[in-house]
Amino acid sequence: MLDILRRSLPLLPFSLAQQLGRLTITVVLSRWMAPEHYGAFATIYVLIEILIQPVSLGFGQSIVRFGSRYFHSSDEALLRGLHQFSLIMVAVAGTALAFSLMNSVVPLVEGSVTHEALIYVLMGAPLGALVQVQAGYLLSTGRLQQSMLSKQILPEWGALCTGALIVVLADSVSVHEALWAICLGFMLTFAVQTGIISRDPMTVQSPVYRIGEWARTSIPLMLTSSGTALVTRLDVLLVRLIEDERAVALFFPAVVVAGLTMIPANAINAVCKPMISLGGGRTDTLEFRRDIARMARALLLTNTLTIALLGLAGSWLLSLYGEQHPREVMLVLGIMLAGRLLLPVRIISNGLLKLAGNPWYSAIAFGSGTIVAIIAALTLYSRYGLAGLALGFALGFAAGVGLRVFFVRKTLGIPLTILCGLDSGGIRP
């Protein structure tokens, strides 16, 4: 376990900076924008985050799955082919998909402030997907820090700096200006990533393509990645559909604070992904299972400590958003943090299915968990309000985790005790 923590430690500042950037920009905008406009901003911001995954068409994940193997086998032609094909598909097919998905949302928000700002989805989602592909390429070629810097820090802080400039130049910030800042943050990040990758030496002139293999794998990876974003963000969209932008402005801060649990999880996950991908052909070996147990124990320890700290500081963090939050919002945050206790098992089981097993099983778990979350949220909302909605999504999250654990046990033979980090298998810390 300690070796995983040591390798994750240099990446922790990147993950910390990402989440603090997200917290800062949402706090600043909440204080400078009217509640209705802030709620519209939060809705579009979340919609962009959700759509980045389907718009990436799964290539942000498949480039890690295949790219790590090509890089370690020195197959530069295939690595270049995968990278180029991924960027082209996202830029063309991904943008077309973003346009289609954006139009499907129009009837649900027509005539509102959110409707006026929907055009930024067509800009932000494809740009974010391109950033994800570039970050996946950097990760697959062993540049963990550069990958995390470009994927987790630059988009948030680029948007924050742009937003700060707008605040200085204007007396107030509209939803359009705030979303322009988000899109400019993505543009800046993509430019930096391209500059880093362009310096790579090229010893192979002609890339090699395995389009059929990459496309077949990318489809289930797209579904599972979309599921992760959807289940963790759909609650905000449901609040907007059920109530209005003002309710979103009240609910969204709890989502951002609960998201701080990803600070250690992102750092450890960045270390674990290449390890799982490279071990894909030896999942039944003792060495691989010991690696999985180490990852699980590191995630379990750091996640539990983070949730405990957020539980203590939750009220203060919510107070940063300005207006006094009712007790219901504190209850919402508590429910979200309780659901995050399953985060380590979800990260490990999902990584195993996507990078070492059959990604379709993770897609099935995503679909089932999403259905459970929506049904439970709508049912409980009618009786318990926003707290019931949060509880419904926590139940859906738990259902998805349970199915992933079942599929990992069935297909890879790895028991729950290892996935939970409880079975050390003779491993010393």
pLDDT digits 0-9 by tens, 301-330:
999 999 999 999 988 888 888 765 667 788
* Rounded average pLDDT over 384-405: 90
Judged against a pLDDT cut of 70, whether residue 428 lies above it is answered with no
* Domains identified in the chain, total number: 1
Q: Which domain holds residue 90?
A: 2-419
318 contacts: CB under 8 Å, gap ≥ 6: 253, 254, 257, 325, 329, 330, 333
For residues 309 and 16, is the Cβ–Cβ distance under 8 A?
no
Question: The tokens of 7 are what?
Answer: 């390798």
pLDDT at residue 429, rounded to an integer: 42
Q: What percentage of residues in the chain have a pLDDT greater than 70? A: 90
pLDDT at residue 427, rounded to an integer: 42
**DSSP string computed for 93-121:** IIHHHHHHHHHHHHHHHTTSHHHHTTHHH
Q: What percentage of residues in the chain have a pLDDT greater than 90? A: 9
In a domain, 304, yes or no: yes
What does pTM read for this prediction? 0.75
* Rounded average pLDDT over 242-271: 86
* Calpha distance 283→320 (Å, rounded): 46
* Calpha distance 324→22 (Å, rounded): 21
In a domain, 424, yes or no: no
In a domain, 242, yes or no: yes
In a domain, 428, yes or no: no
* Calpha distance 277→329 (Å, rounded): 39
Q: SS3 for 339? A: helix
Judged against a pLDDT cut of 90, whether residue 271 lies above it is answered with no
Over residues 31-64, the pLDDT tens digits come to: 777 888 888 888 888 888 888 888 888 888 788 8
Tell me whether residue 341 is exposed, middle or buried, using C-beta atoms within 10 angstroms of its C-beta: 0 to 12, 13 to 18, 19 or more.
middle
* Calpha distance 409→413 (Å, rounded): 4
For residues 147 and 135, is the Cβ–Cβ distance under 8 A?
yes
* Rounded average pLDDT over 418-423: 77
In a domain, 426, yes or no: no
pLDDT at residue 418, rounded to an integer: 83
Q: Helices marked H in 112-261 — which ranges?
A: 113-116, 119-140, 144-148, 154-169, 175-198, 211-242, 245-258
In a domain, 65, yes or no: yes
At 170, is the pLDDT very low, low, confident or very high (cuts 50, 70, 90)? low
* Calpha distance 28→37 (Å, rounded): 13
